[in-house]
Amino acid sequence: MAHKCFISFKTEDMDYKTFIHDHLEVDMIDKSLHEPIESENEDYIMRKIRENYLADSTVTIFLIGEKSAENLPFENQNYLKRELQASLFHGIGNTKNGILGIVLPSMYERIFAGSGICATCGNTHSYISINHNTVISEFAYNYYIPNNKCAWNEDDRYCVLVKWVDFCENPNTFIDKAFDKRNEPISSKTKVRP
């Protein structure tokens, strides 16, 4: 089944957004912004994005590149933040989207940090650096929703995370996975503005 997808990205990552749209066999109805909205008024631009693109979308694809972090000096993250906030909001005229984070190749080493033995439980865990140094807080919080455990499994996360190369091999699987999160119990624990 085709899902209505909105792609949230920084301008520097436009080539990846274009590749998804033009070259991948993706069963989706593209709700993304293809032409800039002609205005200098940020509130007006976001209102138009919410009304015309996000309101009836069901999955937001967040391209995680070198300019996607919360803690980047001199980087305006307002659009990314507000697009994900609108995606996570459930209210009149807007349903909560599933969130799919696609890690672009330049970020693999910064995000996928290997594995090690946990000092708390003694098990081996994969270290995935999803924090304010790699992504905006709206994604970080909803990927690592506080759970009072030493690790998170798939049921503990609302956001879905995938490497670009894996997404390209089977995009529909990951889009479906993000879509399905909307109806899982973890959906009730998300925060729009962490």
pLDDT at site 91: 72
Crossing angle of helices 78-88 and 42-49, rounded to 10°: 40
pTM of the full predicted structure?
0.91
Model confidence pLDDT, tens digit, residues 124-157: 999 999 999 999 999 999 999 999 888 899 999 9
Report the SS3 class of residue 77. coil
Residue type, 17: K
Q: Which residues of the chain have pLDDT under 70?
A: 29-37, 45-46, 53, 93
pLDDT at site 53: 66
Instruction: Determine the Cα angle at 160 with ends 123 and 36, to 5°.
Output: 150
Strand 98-103 and strand 160-163: the pairing is parallel
Integer Cα distance of 76 and 96 in angstroms: 24
pLDDT at site 30: 64
Residue spans per domain, the chain:
3-189
